[in-house]
Structure 1
Amino acid sequence: MDSLRPLLNEHIESLREQLKEELPLKERINVLNELSRKLRNRDNKLAYQYALEALECAQNTANKKIIAIAKTNVAFGKYYQEAAIEEAFLLCNEAIPVFEALNYYNGLGEAFGIQGVIYWNTGEYEMGFSSLMKALKFSEQADDLNWLSWINYLIGGFYHDLKDYQNSLRYHQRALKLFKKNEDIPGHITTIIGIGDIYKVLGQYDLALAIHQEALVMATQHNLVMMKGQAMHEIGMVYLATEDYEKAIDYLNYGLAFRRKINNQRDEITGLIYLSIAHMELEQLDKAEQMLLQGEQLALLNSAKPKLITIYDTLAKLYKKMKDPWKAIKFYEQHQELKAEVMGEEKSTQLKNVNSINSIEKAQQEAEIHKLKNVELKKAYQKIEQQTQSIIDSIHYAKQIQNSILKPIESIEARFDDSFLFFEPKDIVSGDFYWYAEVDTSLDEAPAKPTIATSLGIKSRQAPKMTKILAAVDCTGHGVPGAFMVMLGNSILNEIIHTQRILQPAEILTQLDKKVINALRQTEDEETNNDGMDLAMVTLDESTGVLTFAGARNPLFMVRNGELSHIKGAIYPIGGTQYHTSKVFVEHEVQTQPGDIYYIFSDGFQDQFGGKKARKYLAKRFRKFIEGIAHLPMPEQKAAIGKELKEWQGYNEQTDDVLVIGIKV
């Protein structure tokens, strides 16, 4: 991949050298149009200049196709450089009939793609999605891999806005595959930034941060200013989500500076919004106000109505904090009016329909439903009730099976001098599970040398050397889907440890990952499932007092002398092939000391919504809480965890299964 930059630059320089020659007019226009396309997302300003020159030259020809291509390139620049929405839209509208008459699918893909972005960013969601799906179809027909990769990326972004993260990740992975195939570095970087943002929204902050830092390194290596600004911004967003506001402000400011440098006003608005939020959290209200008012002016200039909705909502909250009720009411009303215009009943219906625009199957199902008469509906409801009860009965039976697989909590607590195991499933059956085993490692040692006693037929009994293995495992999903993963994970762990007698945590995780991928038939194809599990595992050698840890996305907490430290697990989960890289699970050894307490857990507690602002509990607050209760006896810690969870949750629904294990040595 690193070899691409000089090759691409060489090609661009070659095109520039051609422009210095006396070229025939048509050939000159083609070179200008190609330069305009090659420089997109590398230097949009220069790309726009070449597009304008191409259109000026094309107007002197009678070649409708060349003129339409130039208009499409200018439309891209008009939108991204000048935020001239109407002009960009009209240029695409003028180009589309020409492309249709010529069956020029490449041009249709680009024109509909640009229109789709314009529609979406101005609040016309259904039209936006429809245009993007047309762009996808035409780009596939043209086999235009370059534009097809960007269309997949854009559709992934739209699904992200719709909070359909599964489809968003699917389209981002399709785009990444195409960008890698094309050796398109800007596209590669942009897409992994998008993937990182998905993981941030899903609460996988360490993974999101690692992905964005990878993007920042790539953008810096290839001197891509736009990508560098985007990566900086997204790193700031991860810190904002984890309530590290000082770091958030630093990175968001870096991102904002890069965006201003290239006159990317739409992304500048986004940066100003989130910087204001970080300043509000730190009670720096004047700075927050200044940034929001700047953002408002830019949003009005760019007709960025969805961003303007956010700005008005944030301004209303800001002035409420500043105890300025009249301004708070003013901006709240503006927020409500604009939201009604953009996201009113009609637009809400559009959003709900977006995912089914191209779904013939769903349309057929809806048609069938309309055929049902009242009597048929009544019968259907009765049947549903019967089926529901049958399903509930089956789930309760599944719970009995799950309980028979998992050891009783009390029996595990009894295997340690001082410990607790807190387990609170969200549903009848759980997607979290705990796993425990004791293995006599003396059985694996070489036989002792013969002695006089053994020569006389007296058998000596070797002292057992016990290693305790404990894991807190969080499977994909909860309820019935999670329970299936519990069955699979429990079975594979038994095989690895009891049958294969692998006792090193990192190697256990490596084998578990391979076996889960094999069992679920996962491949690097974007259509595959990415189910799996996160876990933290420790082994305790009682003869040496050495505790060994390895984690798949989940950490180990250690409290020693009243201070909490934590050891991170790998950024990869068990299962799933979406990372397109080999996974490495690292082992950490700790020589335990009397009084040490070690904690492993799932992310259910941290992801619980609640509190006054109905926010996630988050990892930072969870660390402080654990450190605050570590001085208590272990049974009291267990009770305190249950109490804190209940109080934080309040009237909110439990978000996920919750599993927390603590052992004291």
Structure 2
Amino acid sequence: MHRILSLLFLLVLFAIASGKSENIDSLWRVYDKAVHDTLKIKILNDEIGSYYQRNNPDSAIICYQMAYDMASKALEKTSKKDVREALEMEKILANAYLGVVNYETGNSEKSLKYLSLAVKNSRDLLKTISNKYQGKIKVIIARSLNQIGMSYKELGKYDKAIETYQKSIKEAEKINDKLIISDVRSNIGLLHLDMGEVMKAIEYFEFAIKIKESIKDMPGLSNCYINMGIAHLRISYNDDGKLSEEGVRKEQDLALDFFKKSIEIAEKVGMQSNISSLYVNMGIVYGSRNEFEKSEEYFLKALNLNIEIDFKDGIAACYGNLAALSQIMAESVALTEGQKKKYLEKTINYGLQCMKYAKEINSLERQIFACSTLKTAYASVNNYKEALFYANEYLELNKKIFSEDKTKAIADAEKKFETEKNKLLIDKLNKEKQLQDSQLKLEQEASEQQRLINYFIIAGLILISLFAFFIVQRLRITRKQKKVIEVQKAVVDEKNVILNQQNEEIRAQRDEIEAQRDEITAQRDLVTNQKERIEVQKKEITDSIVYAKYIQTAVLPTGDYAKDILGEHFIYFNPKDIVSGDFYWATKVDKWLVFTVADCTGHGVPGAFMSMLGVSFLNEIVREKEVTLANEILDRLRMKIIDALKQKSLGETDNGSKKAVSRMRDGMDIAVCVLNIDSLQLQFSGANNGLFVVKTDKSVFDIPGDKQPVAIYEKMVPFTNHVLDLQTGDTIYLNTDGFTDQFGGAENKKFMTKRMKEMFKEISSRPMSEQLVFVNSTFENWKGIRDQIDDVTVLGIRI
């Protein structure tokens, strides 16, 4: 089914980077403590630069350049052979790393420059360096040549790329490095795949797979399986019409098998981006076979993964895939009008989400795709106003792309025309000038002799007259000059006195100006140093907060761990800042499932500290002391918070003034649920946070929490314990006030609890993965372009 392949986006990631999660602050501390320049340069190259290459490529380029410059200066100061060899190695590595990071950031021209320099310097150094560095130098040469081939491929210079890949293989074979050989073979296969030579590409992929299996390179093997799957998918397109339907299906089955093998490995080694792209490719295959439910299932899996890692281009692509798939399903002849309308509504919803994320990343191609889908869908539901709007958007975006290409082509043509025109004009003028020069030369030769004779006669007469006049004038001038010289001498003496005085004044002014200039320079240097220190401190603080986010995320139940505890569920966790004042928590104690959603005082860093304190106390109360009464959990948690934060109320003063209320109100609003897994009896206790239960018949129970926080309070009473009997299929929802308090909509009002209740009622029967997508899109559409005012958390669990 070629039509779906023309509508859907094909996402393929051939290589995924992996690395450590070092603390950059600790790396810089190690750098500062290093005594020798050689060790500092090595830390910059191998540790700090590598960290920034994964997280901030611009900073990585600065680090590698710093390492290169430091090594160059250190070479000027030492004559020791072993130190010089180590420094030369670090210079070569810095160039090689600069080549790689420029390739990764899309600057293939610069990548070629640095990598070629690394190869040249390596070969020069290989002639004189000690044996202990020989093997490492040869590996650098082989890897750099492989990277050069990749840069040539990106620039479209396929012949140069293949030639360089062959050189890399020869260098790798000399040192029997099978990992490099397999990587290069795989890259050659990708090159042939780009050139449309699919069978040749498969040969290289199979060769690479055998080597990677023998050396147990699992990440590389996962990538090779992706490449094989893409190759068989290309064959299944059946562009030349040579394959039967059975042959097409066979190639699709092979592609699916390879994708599944790649997923199996990627899940073991944690290659999340690989898994997302594989889900998309599998969804495309099933869609081309009219297996729409399976296709939608894999697209939703890919969407959830991309939302989890905040990969916006992937999110936009997945929404585009889902919109296109829903549009195709709506056009099925076997549908009722109600079913067709449902699919068209899904098409519009997914298309709008695709447009939203495409605008955020400024992707014209994805915006064009979204407009194409939306104009067709709106026309199908007779909303011609919106259909016309997106049709115009579609034309404008295409015109923009076409205009950019067309403008460049016209400019190139005009430049070429002007160049040729100017060349012809210059040739013509040169010929005319040669003709005029020859004619002028003949005329000049004819009159030159006569002119010379006249000149000699006139010159003779003038010389005689001048000589006579000169003699008379010299006599007169001599007498006058004597008098003038005497007067001038007196004037000069007087001016010399004045000039000496002025010189003294100028010297004094110059000294004063130089002193002021030195003071200004010192003040400027001080301001510059202070600015640089502030920028470094700001970056260090931001890096620390980002690292705190990883720590906070690590203590929250996610993935398989959350699924094992909570069963069928979804978690919508959307912090306002980098770290969150909201948190959710869950555990099992015997037959009791305990789960909470909490909103701590404030958000950002203060809220995050409070959330970590809450998680710690819940672990102590429930996991260690095995408390399973919901209200008792809150009572104990309140006492822990009051004790930890040293909260207290001031009593009556000596002069009889009124009792002061708490000096510290830091705490949290929280909802605690305890579910008996055997009897399905639910306990609920809440501090300012309530509970929603949607029954299988769509009836909704809304149980508010007690009007007191988990903190010191003017009137503290024990928390209420509510008990409910649930049935299989009932759905529980907990949320913080960040969702209901968000301003948005056409009138810029709060979302409010009433809308939240209606939303839960509407989505309760849907699969949890769809509920998560719906909650996310509802919040984003309500908020629109406005700022998010608070952290947002929603937890849904189906019994």
TM-score under structure 2 length normalisation:
0.32
Q: Which has the larger radius of gyration?
A: 2
Structure showing the higher helix proportion among its residues: 2
TM-score under structure 1 length normalisation:
0.39
